[in-house]
Amino acid sequence: MTRPALAALLALIGWSQLGACTLAVSTGAGPSPAVMASPSPSPAPSSPVTVGNLSGSWVFGDANEPPPGPVVACNPFRLWNLTQDGTSVKGSVLACIGPCAAFTEEVTGTNVGGALQLSGEAAESPSAQPTPVRYTLRFDAASQHLVGTRNGQPFWAAPFIQQTTGCGPRPL
């Protein structure tokens, strides 16, 4: 991903003014980073994702899966962005680490009837060597979440809806 494309994507998802809201998640690479979730407004919005189209932004982790439905929050610590065209799926992870340096994970694969197979590379920091990554997931229609494994370890992803009020500037 080029720097201008990354900057445009960060602006699109609101990372130019990161909020302090987060949702508790874990990457399995150390302590769980806090990404606090804000309470959902009533009634809770529904997610636009379906078993046949998983395009959208997702929050994710390997523990502390949120309740069913989308997660409504201020700008999360990290997002998994999926784009689906037919059965082909592309994805990338953007995260704010340290002094908010973005890193990416690029994956491609297929979604056949809610069974998602993705593989690609991930870098834990902007200067790190990429390492292989593989996802085996299924879309759970009851929760609207993706559940399964990332490199053989538990993984979940919940659709993300940007909270539009009550998001203050992120503390430095």
Residue pLDDT, tens place only, 137-154: 999 999 999 999 999 999
Residue pLDDT, tens place only, 44-99: 566 668 888 999 999 999 999 999 999 998 878 788 999 999 999 999 987 775 55
Residue count of the chain: 172
Q: Which two tokens stand for residue 28?
A: 């399995």
- Residue 167 or residue 19, greater confidence: 167
pLDDT at site 101: 55
pLDDT at site 20: 31
* Cα–Cα distance list, 56 to 90, 141, 159, 169 (Å): 11, 16, 7, 24
Question: What is this structure's pTM?
Answer: 0.70
Q: How confident is the model at residue 167 (pLDDT cuts 50, 70, 90)?
A: confident
Q: Which two tokens stand for residue 72?
A: 């409504």
Q: How confident is the model at residue 125 (pLDDT cuts 50, 70, 90)?
A: confident
Q: Closest by alpha carbon to 65, among 169, 132, 148? A: 148
Asked if 60 and 76 count as a contact pair (C-beta separation under 8 A), the reply is: no
* Cβ partners under 8 Å of residue 166, min gap 6: 21, 38, 74
Hey, what amino acid is at 45? P
